[in-house]
Amino acid sequence: MKNNIPGKKNKGDLTVLQSIIRNSPVKLYEGRYAVVKCNELTALDHIFMLSNDGDEITVILEEKNLKNISYEKAEKWFKIISVNVSTPFLGVGLLAEISAKIAEKGINIFIVSTFSKDFILLREEDAGQGINILKEIGFPVI
């Protein structure tokens, strides 16, 4: 059984977290995105991600598709970086590492997760620096 404690060593003297990072490629998505608060959804076309927690409906979609939905409030000018996590649910400290390194540069992020991916939303002007920080941490970029 593999060790999944972040500071512990695996084969090759890499910590578990370092190993996960090196095997989790990141990708910068094309387009510019908005995070939108909706009262209701009438169409699901062109939506990147949807969350309905019973209190509110939050949608992430490309800004060019805002005209296709009715919404209460929108935050715009986001780029999306995906992190294809090599071992979902075993990356103890993965998001903390990403958040801390990006925060050190004074950049605000918004993170949402799916089963095997984490999505980092950051303002368009910070996207290049965000990718560079992830490279410095050790993530391969595709």
Query: Would 19 be classed as within a structural domain?
Result: no
Range of the domain at 53: 24-137
Nearest to 137 by CA among 27, 28, 22: 22
Confidence bin at 8 (pLDDT 50/70/90): low
pLDDT score, position 35: 97
What CATH number is given to the structural domain containing 43?
A: 3.30.2130.10
What pLDDT does residue 10 have? 52
Position 34 in a domain: yes
Residue 4, in any domain of the structure: no
Reported as a single tens digit per residue, the pLDDT across 75-133 is 999 999 999 999 888 888 999 999 999 999 999 999 999 999 999 999 999 999 999 99
Query: For position 1, what pLDDT does the model report?
Result: 41
pLDDT tens-place string over residues 37-72: 998 887 788 899 999 999 999 999 999 999 988 899
